[in-house]
Structure 1
Amino acid sequence: MKTNNIKGAIKNTILRPVMVLILIGMSGKVLAQSNNEVSFYLQGSFSKLGYEALEQKNKLKNGFGIGTKYAYYFFENWSLGTGAELQYMKGSFSKSNIQGAYMSRDSEGEEFEFRYRAGNFSENQEVYFLNIPLQVQYESLGMTRFYAVAGVKAGFVLASDYQSLSTSLQTSGYYQQYDAELTEPKFAGFGEFGRVKNSNSELDLKTNIVAHLESGIKLILENKRSLYMGLFLDYGLNDIKPNASRERIIEYNNQNPTTYAFESLLSSRRDVIPTQHVEKVRTIAFGLRIQYAFEF
C-alpha cells in the first residue's frame, strides 16, 4: 500500500510539472499565432501633380489621405500588408501672362492669325485616388519600436478636374492678305474681354503607379493595440498625363467668337507645334502619418 502511495506521489510529482510546461508551451503557441494586424490611418501631406509647362514648374499644395490596412506577420519582425486608401492631391500653376498666336478662320471663312494675351493666368487641378498598396514592413522589438515600410501602390482615379482663371484677356486678328490687325469688333471675338474663369471641367488622368517609403516609431499599447507615428514619401513612377486634346489653351470658335474658355495645360496642344504643353505628369507627396492598429 505504501509502495502504491509512493508511486502515486512520484507520478504526480513528475506529471504536474510536465503538464504545466505543456500548458505554458500551448499558451505561448497561441500567443505566437497573433500574427494578424488591422489598422486605420490618417495622413497629411505636401503634394503636387509634378509637371512643367510654359517653361515653368508648378507648385506644392496641401493634400491628405485616409485608409485602412491589413498586415500578416510571417516573422516576428516582418509583415506583408495591403489595404485601401483614399488620397486627395492638388496641382497649381500660375504665370503673370501667357500669349500666343495660330492660324484660324473667321465666320465668313477668311483665314487670319488669331492672337491672344491672358494676364495673371492660373490653373488648379484636383484629383482623388483610390490607392491599393502592397508593402513589406520591418520593425524592431520592445515596447517602443522602429519601423520601416517599402512598397508600391496602384492609384485608380475616382475624380479629377481643373479650373482656370485669368484677370484679363486681349485678342486680335491679323489678316495677312490685307496687312491689317483687327482689335475689334468684339462680336467677331477681337478686343478686351476682362476676367475669364472656367467652371470645373473634367481632367481625365491615367492610373497612377506609386513607390511608397515610410519610417517612424511604433508604440505598443495594452490589449494588443499599437500606435504608429511616421513620415512617408509617395513618388509616382509613371506618366499620368491625360490624352492629348485637339484644343489649344484658348481656342477661337468662329461659331461663338465672344465666348472664351481655357483648356487644361495638361491636355491642350501648342499653338503651332502639334504636341502638348506638358510632356509628363508625375505625382509626389510627403508628410506625416498617424496609424492606430490592433492584432488578433
Structure 2
Amino acid sequence: MKTNNIKAAAKSAILALAIVLALFSVNGEALAQSKNEVSFYLQGSFSKLKYEALGQDSEMENGFGLGANYAYYLTENWSLGTGAELQYMEGSISLPTVQGSFMTQDAEADEFEFRYRATNFAENQEVYFLNIPLQVQYESSGTVRFHTAAGVKAGLVLTSEYQSSATSLETSGFYPQYDVELTSPEFAGFGEFAAINNTESELDLKTNFVAHVESGVKLMLENSQSLYMGLFLDYGLNDIKPDTSGKRLIDYNAQNPTDFVFGSLLSSRRDINALQESDEVKSLAFGIKIQYAFQF
C-alpha cells in the first residue's frame, strides 16, 4: 500500500468518525460505571526520527496511528489499559554536501583511494511500528470529563525503509603508488555524474520503547458510549539506530563502476562518520487523538 494512499485513508477515516459521533446526543445524566471499556482510535501527528548527522538535525514530518484499546476500571475514576496500535512515522534530513573516501581496488586489482562528494544529499526514512501499550488512566466524573493517561509502549518494527538522493555526485580515484588522482574516465567510475535517486531499501531499525502521555476531554454519550478528544505525546526511550557493521554510504563496484547506490546515514560508518558512535536515533511524535469507546 502506498504511503500517500494510507495517509489519505487515515484522514478520511478521522473525518468520518468525527461526523458520525457528532450525531450521537450527549446523555444528560452520567451513566452507571462499567468495569470494561473497549475503544478504537485514530491519531494524526507530527513525527520524526530524532538524530543529528554531520552537524545537521533531522526534520519534523507527518505521521499517523490507529489502534484498539481495552481498559479495566479499578475504581470509578482509575483504569488500567492495553491494546494494539499501528503507528507510521517518518524521518528526513537534507545536507548541502556529503563527502568521504576509502581504500578499494579497481577492475585490474590495483589499490586506490575512492573519493566522492555528493551535493544536495537528502535521505528520508519511513517506519511502521506495531505498538503494544500499557497505561494507567484517570478521568473525572460527570457527563463531560477531563481525562489524562500515561504509560509505556513497546514498538515492534513491521517495516523500516530509507530512500536517498543527490543532485550530483563527483568522484575520483587517488593511486598512492603513482601519486596521481584520476577524475576520469567516467566508465571507470571517476568524474561528475548527474542526479542519483535510490529505490527504497531496508533500514533494519531496532525495537522501540516509548513513554506515552495524553490528555483531553471525554464526552459521555448514550448507550454506554463515549468520545475522547485530546492531545498525545510519544517520546522514544532507547536508541533504535541500525547495527553499524561496516556499511558504507556509497560503495565502489569494480565490476560496474557507474552503478552508484547510497547507503543510509544512520548505518554508514566505514567511509564517513555521519553519526558518532555515541549519537542516538530516537522517535518523537505528538498530535491529536480521537477515540470512540463503549463500556460493558
TM-score, length of structure 2 as denominator length: 0.86
Which deviates more, 209-218 or 243-252?
A: 243-252
Q: Is the 8 A contact 2:93 2:124 kept in 1?
A: yes
Which position in structure 2 is the counterpart of 1:22?
A: none
CA shift, 1:171, in A, is 0.3
Q: Give the 5 Å matches for 1:31-180.
A: 31-32=32-33, 34-180=34-180
CA shift, 1:90, in A, is 0.3
- 2:195, 2:276 → 1: CA distance? 25
Q: Is the 8 A contact 2:240 2:281 kept in 1?
A: yes
CA shift, 1:268, in A, is 1.2
Unaligned runs of 5+ in 1: 1-30
CA shift, 1:91, in A, is 0.5
Q: Give the 5 Å matches for 1:202-213.
A: 202-213=202-213
**CA RMSD between the two structures:** 1.8
Equivalenced residues, count: 266
- For 1:83, give the aligned amino acid: G
- For 2:292, give the aligned amino acid: Y
Q: Is the 8 A contact 1:268 1:276 kept in 2?
A: no
Q: Is the 8 A contact 1:244 1:276 kept in 2?
A: no
- For 1:49, give the aligned amino acid: L
- For 1:203, give the aligned amino acid: L
CA shift, 1:279, in A, is 2.7
Q: Is the 8 A contact 2:246 2:270 kept in 1?
A: no
SS of equivalent to 1:206: coil
Which position in structure 2 is the counterpart of 1:268?
A: 268
- 2:102, 2:152 → 1: CA distance? 43
CA shift, 1:272, in A, is 6.3
- 2:114, 2:90 → 1: CA distance? 32
Which position in structure 2 is the counterpart of 1:25?
A: none
CA shift, 1:70, in A, is 0.6
Q: Do structure 1's residue 198 and structure 2's residue 198 form an aligned pair?
A: yes
SS of equivalent to 1:187: helix
Which position in structure 2 is the counterpart of 1:254?
A: 254
Q: Percent identity?
A: 68
Which position in structure 2 is the counterpart of 1:235?
A: 235
CA shift, 1:274, in A, is 11
- 2:68, 2:273 → 1: CA distance? 46
- For 1:183, give the aligned amino acid: T
- For 1:290, give the aligned amino acid: I
Which position in structure 1 is the counterpart of 2:217?
A: 217
CA shift, 1:260, in A, is 0.5
Unaligned runs of 5+ in 2: 1-31
> CA 1:64/1:273 → structure 2, altered by over 3 Å: closer, same or farther?
closer
Q: Is the 8 A contact 1:265 1:278 kept in 2?
A: no
Q: Which one has a bigger Cα radius of gyration?
A: 1
Q: Is the 8 A contact 1:53 1:278 kept in 2?
A: no
CA shift, 1:269, in A, is 1.0
